[in-house]
Structure 1
């Protein structure tokens, strides 16, 4: 049986972008636990309006996954 990947939630959309931003800034050699703590802190400090961008991206991701799964 082939494992179907699940749609990602808004926090993980943010985490992915956060990691990309660190790479673009040339920040490397940081332990994943440190990145996760930094990202989590930033996420908690964000307003609902700031989070809405990531919520919308996650919603779109979920809808596209649902469409892919319904076609198969």
Structure 2
């Protein structure tokens, strides 16, 4: 959210951070079969992927920030 706040401040507004969403794990996912693809609507989802997930699977990201995090996590086909 800090990047958005910086942009708002640059426009002369006073941004106030008030997150309305808190992400927490309901349990860690475990993979039992190869994934045909991975889809994430938030970069935070990457924190909860199974550690043995094949990073060669295609990764579909909603947004540039999520795509950047996916590449940093080792996914090549983003």
Larger radius of gyration: 2
Q: Which has the higher contact order (CA 8 A, sep 6+)?
A: 1
TM-score, length basis structure 1: 0.31
More helix as a share of residues: 1
More strand as a share of residues: 2
